[in-house]
């Protein structure tokens, strides 16, 4: 046994905190402002020297699931339901259906009954009393802290986990303490602090200090500090790649308004005014007074709908300018193409648009109210249907989809129409390449003699396949951790 301990300063710093019992490493890392990975390598070194004892314990880490986060914000559904019953009196299930989705209502009732917030009475739910409870407090606490680390789970946590609001995993918690002998020596002042160079400085080099003192060896086992590089959002990166392919194929990019009169979103596409897609259930309307529409174009559209052409029967009804003036959020990017032709007429062109659209869909894993479309047109007098098939095949190939097959399809604004299916290794045949030739009625309304080959791709679905995502909402992920760490290849 030596008379005096020879300690580096950093060793002393750690040991002096751990003289009277175990100290937890991650909280010490925060206290000292030393990265955890560095600190743990120092502890490892002290253990090797026999100066400290280490204890590793498994703790529970509780974090909120997506649903949990939602309820942390809105309140647990049984509280919401109880509040409604308290304020509005007893209600039947049927009456409550408008306030909740079906699954949520079931959950609210189940837990509300369990907590005796309300009861069934004559076929209705009747309010009893509402008590704030530990489940509610806990979910808020975790929401504010991000996570909770603790040895044992209490009852409320177990319930929240069963409800799918809490996810619990295990984390290792590292603690250490100086051995009794070392602790005694330090307490008695039996130590020297010896200098070392842990971080080489310019001063060390100039003064040649680096030759006089030991240089602390780097622990190759230690995890380096995490670094995040700046990067394009994963989905946007995918869209940029698609743009590149289209540029290589000679396309120019276009875009246009998101809010437009139905004239451009529907009527110009030869969609009759009583078509179900135009209902308030399917298309978002905007709370603004109608704006003026291009009168001359509207007149031609009216003609095309009302069958004033010799060569086509049209839809044979009375077309209304009022309906055509209603402002909607565009439901597809096709108006961008149509507008392009309306302005540029018979100029030969290849045009694409990758932009956002809006539909009044109920959100689920494959639908959201806002989504991207990638679509385009080719304009030229010599163009024909076989050219469209060529383009679709070529485009799919360049996207890395080797197998393509075509079958007949229907869209109100194109004839002939085609649906292209592509083969994806995981998903099998996916219908993702619709296309067609603008109908003659439309060409006439637009005032062109050219043929217009139009195509679109379900870019969201394709991106999900490429990125290995199975929920469309994750394309717009809010999770910084995912965005920072998503693989690029």
Partner 1 sequence: MPTILLDRKRINKALNKELSLEELEKLLEYIKCEIKEQNEDELLCEITTDRADCFSTEGIIRALKGVLGIEKGLVNLNFFEDDIELHVDESVKNIRPYVAMATVRGLKLDPRALESIIRFQEVLHETLGRNRRKASIGLYDLSKLDKKIFFKNMDLEKIKFIPLEKNEILDGYRILSETEKGKQYRHLVGQSSAPVLVDNNGTFLSMAPIINSQDAKVTTKTTDILIDSTGFDLNFITSIVGLMAYALSFYGGKVGLVKHFYPNSSFLLRFNNRTFELSKRYAEEILGFELLEDEFQDFLLRARYGFNVYGSKYEITVPFYRVDVLGPIDIVEDIAIIKGYENIEPRRPPLETKSRLSEKSLLGSIVREVFNGLGFQEIVNYMVTNSILQSERVGLDPKEIGLIYISNPISKEYDCMRANLFPGILEFLQYNRSNAYPQKIYELGDVLRFQGNRIITDFRLASAIIYNSASFEDMHSCIYAFFKAIGLDFNLKENELPFLLKGRRADILVKNEKIGWIGELNPNISEYFSLYQPIVAFELSLSEIIKFKFPSR
- Near partner 1 in 123-152, by CB under 8 A: 144-147
Q: Are 448 and 342 in contact (CB under 8 A)?
A: no
Q: What are the distances in angstroms from CA 310 to CA 268, 300, 304, 413, 444?
A: 19, 14, 10, 18, 12
> Using the rule CB under 8 A, is 48 a contact of partner 1?
no
In DSSP notation, 94-159 reads HHHTTTS-HHHHHHHHHHHHHTTSEEEETTEEEE------HHHHHHHHHHHHS-EEESS--HHHHH
- The neighbouring-strand residues paired with 420 are 406, 433
Nearer to partner 1 among residue 180 and residue 240 (C-beta): 240
Both tokens of 303, joined, read: 């003609």
User: To the nearest whole angstrom, how small is the minimum distance from the Cβ of residue 371 to partner 1?
Assistant: 10
> Using the rule CB under 8 A, is 480 a contact of partner 1?
yes
Q: What are the distances in angstroms from CA 331 to CA 142, 284, 334?
A: 40, 8, 9
> Using the rule CB under 8 A, is 398 a contact of partner 1?
no
> Using the rule CB under 8 A, is 418 a contact of partner 1?
yes
User: To the nearest whole angstrom, how small is the minimum distance from the Cβ of residue 33 to partner 1?
Assistant: 11
- The contact pattern for partner 1, residues 449-478, with x = CB under 8 A and - = no contact, is --x-x---------------------xx-x
> Using the rule CB under 8 A, is 186 a contact of partner 1?
no
Nearer to partner 1 among residue 90 and residue 272 (C-beta): 272
> Using the rule CB under 8 A, is 241 a contact of partner 1?
no
Q: Are 350 and 467 in contact (CB under 8 A)?
A: no
Q: How many residues does the chain have?
A: 489
Q: Identify the residue whose tokens are 């649906």.
A: 419
User: To the nearest whole angstrom, how small is the minimum distance from the Cβ of residue 217 to partner 1?
Assistant: 28
Nearer to partner 1 among residue 392 and residue 465 (C-beta): 392
> Using the rule CB under 8 A, is 61 a contact of partner 1?
no
**Contact pick of 110, 150, 205, 286 for partner 1 (by CB under 8 A):** 286
> Using the rule CB under 8 A, is 248 a contact of partner 1?
yes
The region of 103-111, 121-129, 161-169, 439-447 touching partner 1 under the rule CB under 8 A is 439-447
Nearer to partner 1 among residue 27 and residue 201 (C-beta): 27
User: To the nearest whole angstrom, how small is the minimum distance from the Cβ of residue 102 to partner 1?
Assistant: 15
Q: According to CB under 8 A, which residues from 358 to 397 bind partner 1?
A: 358, 360, 362-363, 368-370, 378, 380, 382-393
Coil, strand, or helix at residue 217?
A: coil
Nearer to partner 1 among residue 189 and residue 230 (C-beta): 230
Both tokens of 192, joined, read: 């020297």
Buried b (16+ CB within 10 A) or exposed e, 446-455: bebebbbbbb
Q: How deeply is 304 buried, as exposed, middle or buried, from its count of CB atoms within 10 A (0-12, 13-18, 19+)?
A: buried
Both tokens of 235, joined, read: 């989905």
> Using the rule CB under 8 A, is 290 a contact of partner 1?
no
In DSSP notation, 39-87 reads HHHHHHHHHHTTSEEEEEEEEEEEEE-HHHHHHHHH--HHHHHHHHHHH
**Contact pick of 200, 228, 308, 400 for partner 1 (by CB under 8 A):** 228
> Using the rule CB under 8 A, is 229 a contact of partner 1?
yes
Q: According to CB under 8 A, which residues from 319 to 348 bind partner 1?
A: 329, 348
User: To the nearest whole angstrom, how small is the minimum distance from the Cβ of residue 236 to partner 1?
Assistant: 6
């Amino acid at each position: 046994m030596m008379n005096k301990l020879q300690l580096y300063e950093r060793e002393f710093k750690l040991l002096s905190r751990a003289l009277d019992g175990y100290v937890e490493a991650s909280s010490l890392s925060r206290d000292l402002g030393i990265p955890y990975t560095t600190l743990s390598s120092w502890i490892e070194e002290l253990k090797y020297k026999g100066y400290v004892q280490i204890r590793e314990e498994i703790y529970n880490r509780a974090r909120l699931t997506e649903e949990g986060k939602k309820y942390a914000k809105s309140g647990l559904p049984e509280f919401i339901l109880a509040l409604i019953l308290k304020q509005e009196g007893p209600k039947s299930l049927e009456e409550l259906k408008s306030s909740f989705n079906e699954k949520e209502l079931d959950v609210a009732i189940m837990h509300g009954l369990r907590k005796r917030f309300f009861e069934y009475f004559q076929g209705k739910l009747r309010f009893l009393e509402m008590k704030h409870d530990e489940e509610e407090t806990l979910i808020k606490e975790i929401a504010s802290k991000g996570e909770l680390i603790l040895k044992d789970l209490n009852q409320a946590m177990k319930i929240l986990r069963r409800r799918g609001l809490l996810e619990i995993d295990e984390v290792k918690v590292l603690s250490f303490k100086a051995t009794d002998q070392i602790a005694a020596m330090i307490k008695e002042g039996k130590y020297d602090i010896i200098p070392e160079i842990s971080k080489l400085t310019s001063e060390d080099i100039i003064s040649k200090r680096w030759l006089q003192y030991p240089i602390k060896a780097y622990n190759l086992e230690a995890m380096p500090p995490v670094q995040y590089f700046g990067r394009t959002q994963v989905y946007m990166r995918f869209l940029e790649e698609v743009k590149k392919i289209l540029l290589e194929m000679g396309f120019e990019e276009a875009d246009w308004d998101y809010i437009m009169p139905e004239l451009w979103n529907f009527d110009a596409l030869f969609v009759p005014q009583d078509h179900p897609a135009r209902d308030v259930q399917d298309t978002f309307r905007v709370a603004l007074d109608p704006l003026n529409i291009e009168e001359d174009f509207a007149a031609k559209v009216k003609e095309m709908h009302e069958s004033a052409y010799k060569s086509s029967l049209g839809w044979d009804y009375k077309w209304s300018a009022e309906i055509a003036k209603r402002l909607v959020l565009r439901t597809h990017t096709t108006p961008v193409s149509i507008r392009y032709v309306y302005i540029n007429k018979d100029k030969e062109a290849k045009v694409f648009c990758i932009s956002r659209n809006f539909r009044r869909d109920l959100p689920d894993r494959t639908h959201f109210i806002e989504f991207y479309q990638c679509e385009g047109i080719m304009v030229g007098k010599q163009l024909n249907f076989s050219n469209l098939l060529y383009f679709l095949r070529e485009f799919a190939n360049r996207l890395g989809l080797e197998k393509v097959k075509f079958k007949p399809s229907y869209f109100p604004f194109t004839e002939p129409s085609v649906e292209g299916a592509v083969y994806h290794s995981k998903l099998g045949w996916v219908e993702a390449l619709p296309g067609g030739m603008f109908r003659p009625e439309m060409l006439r309304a637009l005032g062109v003699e050219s043929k217009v080959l139009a195509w679109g791709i379900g870019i969201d679905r394709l991106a999900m396949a490429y990125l290995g995502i199975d929920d469309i909402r994750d394309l717009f992920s809010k999770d910084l951790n995912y965005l920072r760490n998503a693989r690029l290849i």
